[in-house]
Structure formats: structure tokens, C-alpha cells
Chains A and B, each alone.
Chain A
Amino acid sequence: MRELAAAVYSRMVEASHGERGTRALRALLEFVPAFYRHVAPETRRARILVLKHLEDAPLGALNAAVQCSSLSHMPVFSDDEVVVQLLQSGQFLVSQTADIDPVQVAQDCVVYTYENRTEMFYAGSASSPVINPAEGYASVFAIPTFDDLKLALNEYRDKQARRTSCRILTEAWKGQKRIIFRAGPEPTMRNSLAQFLKACLRGNVEVRPEQVVDDSHPVDIKVTWFMSNRLALIEIKWLGASGKSTRTLVRHGDSRARDGAKQLADYLDGNAVQAPRQETRGYLVVFDGRRGRVKPWTRRINHADGFKYERAEIVFVPKYHETRSDFEVPIRMFMEPVCD
């Protein structure tokens, strides 16, 4: 606990600036997540600096800054550094030309910075990093919250799986080019998705990986809504090639996804027997890492082969998602390679 205490920024702020500091910190903590709903931190190459002056005095370096009354009134940002000063009035100053040293201004301010997935708070002569327990997000303040499981799965598909942005998910690949999966990547995929859902789903929800539905059916992820009879079963399948050695590959194509659909339909039937009063929905999530012309020794890939299956939707026969009311439309998550 002592080690963690050294990295708790609220402690550092209180020790440096006392109650005025923690008040300024609260203002920053309210602002930064809202700011990240407008400006995705992972898209910024230059630093983001947000500060709150203890006496609410505008910094001289921000004389030419734009004064905004709401986030929707912010100017369009170039790739340069963004500096924001919060004001007591609720308005804030924005500049892309001000040159501010966080260590220097922290004597009279609480300062937050984001740069290359590293976040810091500065206050007085001290600074403290922000611990980000969310593997897949550039900032702990940029984690979205969803009421709806389907929306959360779509977000995961677009922001986490597509470019393997989740650090857990990187372990599913054999190399950084994301051409061949490691042997048995499914538990890694399950862990990545389960962690994402745990962090992002709000409400009366519990996310548990690898849950037994009946005697013979362990489902990959079970989502239970507390104080209701709602339940979601998520089955995960992967498509593409995986291998331990440079000699052989295990390949999974469309039929693997169709097997997954059948398996999920069976789970749902099994669950209906075990828990008839539950309103259960099934979600098939297909991690699609298929590439063209992949050999066990392939280490590089061109765009045509890498993206060959980008739009290759899977034809499901039977179409459980059309014939059953408890089966959601399968979600295929195409995972991009890094091409030459």
C-alpha cells in the first residue's frame, strides 16, 4: 500500500497545496473526462496540459488564448500542444501557442498533463503519475460508460479490437505485425473483452469470464444484471491462423464462426432448461484475423493480403439471429494487421 500511496496524486496535491489544491484537483477531474469526450487523447501526438490556478488568476502566457464557455465551443485543434486553463466562472482559456512549464506553474496551480499515454499531476514542487488500471485506454479519464451491452461490444470492436489497442489483446498475436495469432489465443481475447466490459458497463451488472451454463457447457463470458432476470451469454471465436512453430499453422475460417453460432444456440437451450425464468440473450463475438496467403513463416504482409477479409462478412446457416428471439446478430471484429 505504501508503494501505491506514492503514486496517489490526490495525496500529492493535498500535501502541496492543501484544501485549495484538492478543490482545484476536483475541478480538473470534472473537466478532463468531459474534454476527452471531444478530443480523443490517443489521437494527440503533442502534450495536453490542463491547469487550475489556486487564485483563479489567468496566466500571462495565455494572454492570447481563446476563451470558451463550453466544450462544444472549442476551436478545432491542430497537431500542436493544447493548453487549457480552467476558470472559476466555468469558462476556460485554450491556447495552442502558449509555452508552459508544468513544474514552474505548479507553484500556484494544480496541473494535469497527458503525453504519449503518460499522465501526470503537478502541484507545488511535486508531481505524481496517474495509475491507469484500464489496459485498453490511453487515459483512465477517457474510458466510456455504456448502459447497453451491444453498444459496448461495438465500441470494443471499433476502438479496441480493430487495431489491437488493448494491451491484453496484443498478447494474442505472434508478432507486432499482427499476421498470425499465438497458439490458443482465445483465453487472451476473452480476458481482454471481459476486462473491457467490467470497466465500461454501468448499472446492476456483473461480468464473469468462463462460466458454466450447464454440466457440459462453459460459456466464455456471462453478464448478469443484478436485481433483474436478464442474462447475456457471450461466446468468442477467432478466425485466422495461429501457430507455435514456424512449420505448422492452425487455420480457422467461416465454418468456425458457424460452429460458434451452433454452440451458442445450444448454450441458450441449456440455459433455458437450467434457468427458465431468466431472460437470456446470446452474443457471438468473432475475432477476425484472417489474412490472404499466410504461411507459417510469414512475417510481413502487403495491404491487399492484410485486408483481404476486411469486408468478408460471414454467412450464417442457419441464421439463428433471425430465427431465434434470444440470439443477437453476431459481431465480427476484423483485426487490422500492420502492412508494409
Chain B
Amino acid sequence: MANASASFDFLFITGKLCARFGTATFGEIHLFSYLGCLLSLFRGQPAADWGYSFAGLDSGSPFSAELQAACPDLELAGLILGEAGSIAITPEGEKELEFLSGLQHFGPRKSYLTTALESLLSFPVGMVRNALSMEPGLRPALKVGGSRPLLEETALGQLHEHFEALHSALGECHDLLVPSSLWLTYLLELAKEHDADVMRHSKT
């Protein structure tokens, strides 16, 4: 049986990305869903409340099997169209999304996903991807290689250290866009250092 949260997230992110770029891609859907989940953790929600799990791929990208499994059902229902890795929301999908977005049940996750997608206001999608590959869960996957489950105890501990540093640097902020922007800026700095390391170790 399909995971309702994953189905909603898939449709919601696809709808927003289509509005911005015309299409969505699987990688972006997994990316923004994971960022939304991390923002919910920042606001104090337990990881288990997100409703589905993630793994880190050795490319430094997040992946959720539940989210991916939502795709065929949505396609079969005529809510999305997929072609050669690109996904588009259909008019029926937009109607369904409008209906689902009005449900109280999805209210909190909608706000986290919205802020995750709003990172595109400040950074191009490639930079969001690079930044997120440096968060404590994904960074080991990128550095050492091999897929691994995300939001495990060690990574969660490090993640909360990041969040404490964010709280301490920013104080009280109501708009989640503020900590989200600072965190991505910080992770981009880490990505820059990582790239410089790769360069130092490469051939001359």
C-alpha cells in the first residue's frame, strides 16, 4: 500500500518544480523531500514523524524508496507524467494537489517542503544539491562511498550540533527561511573546502 505522506510529497514537490522549471526530476524530488524532513527536525519534530525513511547514495544524494514507490501509483492515476527521467504534473494532478494541500493533515509537512523549495530563491538547484551533500548524514556517503541509511544515531547527533549552532547564531527566528538559508550557506562553505581538498589530491 502506498505511503500517503510520500505520495503527497512527491506530488507537492513535482507541482512546485514544474511551476518553476517546467518539469521535475527524480533526484530533485528526493533532494527537496529530504531537505524538508531535515527542516522538520530543526523545528523539533522526531525523524520518525516524517513518515518515511531515506538512504544516502554514494553520489552524496538522498533517496527514499517510499517516495520512489509513490511514482507509479501517481502515474497510473493520471496525476503525473513521466518521460526519460523528467516528470510533469497533469491538470488532474494539480487539482488533486490543491485538494490535498487544503487538508489539515498535510499542513505541517507542506510548510517544511515549501521552505525547502524556497531555497531555490537564493541558490540554483545545483548549489542546493552540493550544499546538502555536505550535511552530516550524506557527507560520509560522498567521502567514503557506498549507500547507507540516513538519519541514524551518529548522523542525527551531528545534525543536532549543526542545529544548535544555527539557534545560537540566529537567536529567535519565526521564518524558517532564515535558518534554512544560513545552513545552506554554511554547507556550501564546507562543499568549497571539500572541492579544494579533491583538487589538492588530484593530478597536476
Contact = CB atoms under 8 A, between A and B. Distances in A.
Given A11-B182, A204-B26, A2 B169 contact: yes
A187 B202 contact: yes
Q: Is the interface of B mostly helix, strand, loop or mixed?
A: helix
A75 interface: no
Contact of A131 (B25, B125, B185): B185
B122 A140 contact: yes
21 contacts: A1-B186, A5-B170, A8-B170, A10-B175, A22-B177, A186-B204, A187-B202, A191-B199, A198-B129, A198-B130, A199-B124, A199-B126, A202-B28, A203-B85, A204-B28, A206-B60, A210-B198, A225-B85, A226-B27, A226-B61, A227-B26
Interface residues of B, number: 45
Contacts of A198: 126-127, 129-130
A8 B122 CA distance: 11
Contacts of A202: 21, 25, 28, 124-126
Contact of B59 (A187, A191, A199, A224): A224
Contacts of B127: 133-134, 143, 198-199
Interface in A162-207: 184, 186-187, 190-191, 194-195, 197-206
Given A8-B181, A145-B126, A206 B169 contact: no
A314 B78 CA distance: 50
A21 to B, nearest CB: 9
A133 B195 contact: no
B18 interface: no
Contacts, number: 134
Contacts of A11: 170, 173, 178, 181-182
Interface of B: 21, 23, 25-28, 57, 59-61, 85-86, 118, 121-127, 129-130, 165-166, 168-170, 173-175, 177-178, 181-182, 185-186, 188-189, 192, 195, 198-199, 202-204
A181 to B, nearest CB: 13
A22 B85 CA distance: 35
A143 B124 contact: yes
Contact of A218 (B61, B175, B181, B203): B203
Contacts of B204: 184, 186-187
A14 interface: yes
B182 A4 contact: yes
B21 A227 contact: no
Given A4-B189, A187-B203, A227-B27, A19 B124 contact: no
